[in-house]
Homo-oligomer: A and B are copies of this chain.
Amino acid sequence: MVKYRIVQIGAGNVATHISKAFQEVGHSVVQVVGRAEANARALAKEVGAAYTITMSNIDKTADRYIISVPDSAIPNVLSALPQLSGIVVHTSGSTPASALQKVSESYGVFYPFQTFSKARSISLKGVPFCIEASGADVVSALSQIAASIGGKPVEMDSEQRRWLHLTGVFACNFVNHMFSISQVIAQEKGLTFDMLKPLIRETVSKALEGGPENSQTGPAIRGDSETIEKHVAMLKDFDTEWRDIYRLLSSSIWNTAQNND
């Protein structure tokens, strides 16, 4: 495997997980560039890199520059960066690749489609890395580096990447929020989230193995309006929005099923 010298710009969740993965398979993270000194120092220590909080101190000799910062911070990072000769990528789901063209001739997108939390170690095995780049050689280089850490490189343009990002909001962010609501209700009523775990495991296995379109159960798809109204009435003790969520999702389950018939 070709080993690269990598500069990691950003020291948050994505930066941490990717840098550790690079270092574990033998690439060198030579420098971490971060806005908050404590974070930059911590990540640098973890991967054996130098660190700086001054963008103009960036190591210009690296092969790869990975920008993993919030979308809203990308313009500031780019305006502070000098011209670079290595490949510069960002890991954003919704920023176009072309945003990077002013800092390097070789640039691209290296977007891991996964949910990262700092405290939780994670395998990148099989995780799609959405790749888009300034040229075929850069696509190939980024695909190799994604594969070297266990990822599955998938070439797609900025528009498809935005759509994939949007699907992730439904399948991850909104799903987790449904779990949160179920947990709060359970705990308020003397039940436990543990009681929900076998149901959650089977729900997800069923959707992953047989497809969610074949897995819908419950009062909404049966058109059981009596149970739905009882549930809505029970939710009066909770946040008003949860009642609205119950009604809207029940209606949407019903309508989606009719459209599929």
- With CB as the reference atom, state the residue of chain B lying closest to A181: B170
Q: Are A196 and B169 interface neighbours, CB within 8 A?
A: no
What are the residues of chain B within 8 A of A107 when measuring CB–CB?
none
Q: Are A127 and B198 interface neighbours, CB within 8 A?
A: yes
Least distance between A239 CB and chain B CB atoms (Å): 7
Check A172/B185 contact, CB under 8 A, given A166-B234, A204-B204: no
Q: Which residue of the partner chain, among B164, B182, B241, contacts A251 with CB atoms under 8 Å?
A: B241
Least distance between A169 CB and chain B CB atoms (Å): 6
The answer to whether A98 has its CB under 8 Å from any CB of chain B is no
- A171–B234 alpha-carbon span in the complex (Å): 16
Q: Are A115 and B182 interface neighbours, CB within 8 A?
A: no
What are the residues of chain B within 8 A of A116 when measuring CB–CB?
217
Q: Are B231 and A169 interface neighbours, CB within 8 A?
A: yes
- A116–B196 alpha-carbon span in the complex (Å): 15
What are the residues of chain B within 8 A of A156 when measuring CB–CB?
191
- A231–B163 alpha-carbon span in the complex (Å): 9
The answer to whether A61 has its CB under 8 Å from any CB of chain B is no
Number of interface residues of A (CB under 8 A): 95
What are the residues of chain B within 8 A of A172 when measuring CB–CB?
199-200, 203, 217-218
What are the residues of chain B within 8 A of A126 when measuring CB–CB?
198
Q: Are B185 and A170 interface neighbours, CB within 8 A?
A: yes
Q: Are B255 and A241 interface neighbours, CB within 8 A?
A: yes
Q: Are A227 and B173 interface neighbours, CB within 8 A?
A: no
- A116–B210 alpha-carbon span in the complex (Å): 13
Check A154/B195 contact, CB under 8 A, given A72-B224, A120-B210, A183-B211: yes
What are the residues of chain B within 8 A of A255 when measuring CB–CB?
239, 241
What are the residues of chain B within 8 A of A185 when measuring CB–CB?
163, 166-167, 170
Q: List 29 A-B contacts (CB under 8 A).
A: A70-B222, A114-B202, A117-B215, A120-B210, A127-B198, A128-B195, A162-B234, A163-B186, A163-B234, A164-B191, A164-B195, A167-B191, A168-B196, A169-B218, A169-B219, A170-B185, A171-B196, A172-B203, A172-B218, A173-B218, A174-B245, A176-B206, A176-B207, A179-B215, A180-B213, A204-B204, A239-B252, A241-B252, A245-B249
